[in-house]
Amino acid sequence: MTLSQFKLLDKDKRYIIWLAKSVEIASYEKDGLLHVLYQLDDFYIELQFVKKFPDNVIFVAFSDPERLEPFLRLIDISPVLSSYQ
């Protein structure tokens, strides 16, 4: 599935595809929002929600690597690096 195809789906179908096929990569909290990053094929899906109101979820699907920056700072790659030493 491409990013364009995903964005054309209605909300319920996006939810089903996200749940069945995406892989969680990272998460962080900022300004009262929980941000969770998933990968689906060649694009990413960020879910944003307030912990107290988990039913109000914002889906943001993107392929722009700049949007990954907040998540990349949190991913610990030291185990991968140590395996090369």
Query: Could you tell me which residue, 83 or 61, shows the higher pLDDT?
Result: 61
Domain boundaries, the chain: 3-82
25-78 tens-digit pLDDT = 999 998 888 999 999 999 999 999 987 776 788 889 999 999 999 888 887 777
Structure pTM? 0.81
Q: Given this model, what pLDDT does residue 72 score?
A: 85
- Looking at per-residue confidence, does 9 or 74 come out higher? 9
| pLDDT at res. 45 | 97
Q: Specify the DSSP class assigned to residue 42.
A: T
Backbone angle region of 29, left / alpha / beta, with phi > 0 → left and psi within -120 to 50 → alpha: beta
| C-alpha to C-alpha distance for 41 and 48, rounded to whole angstroms | 20
Beta-carbon-side half-sphere exposure of residue 20 (alpha carbons within 13 Å): 7
Copy the structure tokens of residue 74: 């949190």
Nearest to 3 by CA among 65, 55, 48, 49: 65
Rg of the chain's alpha carbons, rounded to an integer?
Answer: 14
